[in-house]
């Protein structure tokens, strides 16, 4: 490429004009690259000076260098102008209102069953209990035999179960097998609660589902008595439902406890007078009893030296009572209109 002083002047005039009307820093940067970049027009002109006849070289070189310096100066000045203009109008164009209160961010929250389970865990941890977990797929020994429920026992009918192939394994029908597993692997004193999902082949209705949540409690030590169990239930129920609640203990029957009891708490809606949501003022909350000596033996513990109590409750049921929910299925449908209320 050949260049003469006239070409340089034409290029310079055009660039000068465009710099004067450049609207922002980005446009200026593009102009700088176009004129002075590696492949820029002034850069190319400077490079071609060497190819000029010797008598023209000095003058063209000096002219091109002067133009380069001029363009650099113009770019800097225009940038400063634009910056000043921006700062002068900044207050009008780029303000933020620091007093604006934005709409609340909608956050998720814990499921009501999780909330109740956390309360239950907190109550029992104050009494020194630990949380123990067990498998949801159980063998028949831990789910039935070890808990005094032999093959012909009527309880096996009421607990119609989900068996997996081969009829040896089933989805646990209660959390009680965790008692056996824990006794087999730990020495007394034992003080645990075992929460988790359990499964039964029940038809689904407002108070039954094929999957629900239980928690189991087990205490084994020297000289554990029924009065210890009663005090524990009382402390638990009053912690969960309120200090004014009364407890009713009645006889019951379970294969794995002897004697067995059922515990009810006075209805919070009617104060115990009797209403539509309770049975004559009482709400059943759990089944319990003194651990059957044979169940202790099945867990590897000698009933001559140790005694214990156990209790089991439906977590869903406690949540229904705690939050006055009338239908168990609501906990599993995950309808946000329901869940948002907790
Ligand atoms: Zn009531």
- Find the range with the poorest average confidence among 39-43, 55-59, 186-190, 201-205: 201-205
Whole-number Å distance, alpha carbon 283 to ligand 1 midpoint, is 8
Q: What is the pLDDT at residue 248?
A: 92
Tokens representing 154 are 């009527």
- 212-236: average pLDDT: 94
Answer whether residue 249 shows pLDDT above 70: yes
Answer whether residue 209 shows pLDDT above 80: no
Answer whether residue 3 shows pLDDT above 60: no
Give the total residue count for the chain.
342
| Model pTM score | 0.66
| Contact present, 309 and 226 (Cβ < 8 Å) | yes
Q: What is the pLDDT at residue 231?
A: 94
Tokens representing 2 are 């050949």
Answer whether residue 259 shows pLDDT above 90: yes
Which three-class secondary structure string do you get for the chain? CCCCHHHHHHHHHHHHHHHHHCCCHHHHHHHHHHHHCCCCHHHHHHHHHHHCCHHHHHHHHHHHHHHHHHHHHHHHHHHHHHHHHHHHHHHHHCCCCCCCCCCCCCCCCCCHHHHHHHHHHHHHHHCCCEECCCCCEEEHHHHCHHHCCCCCCCHHHHCCCCECCCCCEEECCCCCHHHHHHHHHCCCCEEEEEEEEEECCCCCECCECCEEEEEEEEEEECCCCHHHHHHHHHHHHHHHHCCCCCEEEEEEEECCEEEEEEEEEECCCCCCCCCCCCECCEEEEEEEEEECHHHHHHCCCCCCCCEEEEEEEEHHHHHHHHHCCCCCCHHHHCCHHHHCCC
Burial 52-67 (b: 16+ CB within 10 A, else e): beeeeeeebeebbeeb
As a whole number of angstroms, the distance between CA 128 and CA 228 comes to 14
Whole-number Å distance, alpha carbon 246 to ligand 1 midpoint, is 13
- 122-130: average pLDDT: 96
Q: Compute, in degrees rounded to 10, the torsion defined by CA atoms 313, 316, 318, 323.
A: 180
- 225-238: average pLDDT: 94
Q: What is the pLDDT at residue 40?
A: 87
- 15-44: average pLDDT: 90
Whole-number Å distance, alpha carbon 311 to ligand 1 midpoint, is 24
- 283-296: average pLDDT: 94
Q: What is the pLDDT at residue 131?
A: 96
The share of the chain scoring above pLDDT 90, in percent, equals 46
Whole-number Å distance, alpha carbon 314 to ligand 1 midpoint, is 19
Whole-number Å distance, alpha carbon 278 to ligand 1 midpoint, is 4
Question: What is the band of 208 on the pLDDT scale with cuts at 50, 70, 90?
Answer: low
Whole-number Å distance, alpha carbon 178 to ligand 1 midpoint, is 34
Question: What is the band of 224 on the pLDDT scale with cuts at 50, 70, 90?
Answer: very high
CA angle, 86 then 87 then 90, to 5°:
80
As a whole number of angstroms, the distance between CA 277 and CA 280 comes to 9
The share of the chain scoring above pLDDT 70, in percent, equals 95
Whole-number Å distance, alpha carbon 118 to ligand 1 midpoint, is 26
Whole-number Å distance, alpha carbon 285 to ligand 1 midpoint, is 14
Q: Which of 41, 93, 333 is nearest to 211 (CA)?
A: 333
What is the average pLDDT value for the chain, to the nearest integer?
87
Whole-number Å distance, alpha carbon 266 to ligand 1 midpoint, is 8
Question: What is the band of 96 on the pLDDT scale with cuts at 50, 70, 90?
Answer: confident
Which has more pLDDT, 296 or 95? 296
Residue in the block written with tokens 């303000």: 95
Answer whether residue 200 shows pLDDT above 50: yes
As a whole number of angstroms, the distance between CA 16 and CA 39 comes to 18
What are the domain boundaries of the chain?
A: 5-91, 112-339
CATH class, 112-339 region:
alpha beta
Whole-number Å distance, alpha carbon 279 to ligand 1 midpoint, is 7
Q: What is the pLDDT at residue 1?
A: 46
Q: What is the pLDDT at residue 29?
A: 92
Which has more pLDDT, 175 or 55? 175
Question: What is the band of 92 on the pLDDT scale with cuts at 50, 70, 90?
Answer: confident
Q: What is the pLDDT at residue 290?
A: 97
Whole-number Å distance, alpha carbon 211 to ligand 1 midpoint, is 27
| Contact present, 282 and 272 (Cβ < 8 Å) | yes
- Find the range with the poorest average confidence among 112-126, 247-261, 277-291, 324-338: 324-338
Residue 38 CA, distance from chain mean position: 55
Q: What is the pLDDT at residue 179?
A: 94
CA angle, 124 then 182 then 166, to 5°:
125
Which has more pLDDT, 158 or 298? 298
């Amino acid at each position: 490429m050949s260049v003469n002083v006239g070409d340089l002047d034409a290029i310079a005039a055009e660039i000068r004009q465009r710099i004067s009307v450049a609207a922002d820093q980005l446009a200026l940067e593009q102009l700088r690259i176009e004129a002075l970049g590696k492949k820029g027009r002034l850069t190319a002109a400077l490079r071609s000076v060497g190819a000029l006849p010797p008598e023209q070289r000095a003058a063209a070189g000096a002219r091109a260098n002067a133009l380069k310096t001029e363009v650099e100066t113009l770019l800097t000045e225009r940038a400063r102008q634009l910056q000043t203009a921006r700062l002068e109008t900044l207050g009008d164009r780029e303000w933020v209102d620091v007093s604006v209160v934005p709409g609340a961010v909608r956050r998720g929250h814990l499921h009501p069953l999780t909330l109740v389970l956390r309360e239950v865990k907190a109550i029992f941890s104050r009494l020194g209990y630990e949380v123990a977990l067990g498998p949801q797929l159980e063998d028949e020994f831990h789910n039935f035999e070890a808990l005094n429920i032999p093959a012909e026992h009527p309880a096996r009918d009421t607990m119609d179960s989900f068996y997996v192939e081969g009829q040896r394994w089933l989805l646990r029908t209660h959390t009680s097998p965790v008692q056996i597993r824990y006794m087999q692997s730990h020495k007394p004193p034992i003080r645990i609660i075992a929460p988790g999902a359990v499964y039964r082949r029940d038809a689904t209705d407002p108070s039954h589902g094929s999957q629900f949540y239980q928690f189991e409690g087990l205490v084994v030590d020297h000289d554990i008595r029924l009065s210890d169990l009663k005090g524990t239930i009382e402390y638990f129920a009053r912690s969960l439902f309120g200090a004014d609640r009364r407890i009713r203990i009645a006889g019951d029957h379970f294969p794995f406890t002897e004697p067995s009891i059922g515990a009810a708490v006075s209805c919070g809606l009617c104060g115990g007078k009797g209403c539509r949501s309770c049975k004559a003022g009482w709400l059943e909350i759990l089944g319990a009893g003194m651990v059957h000596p044979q169940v202790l033996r099945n867990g590897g513990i000698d009933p001559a030296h140790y005694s214990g109590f156990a209790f089991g409750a439906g977590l869903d049921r406690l949540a229904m009572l705690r939050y006055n929910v009338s239908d168990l299925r609501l906990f599993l449908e995950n309808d946000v209109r329901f869940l948002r209320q907790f």
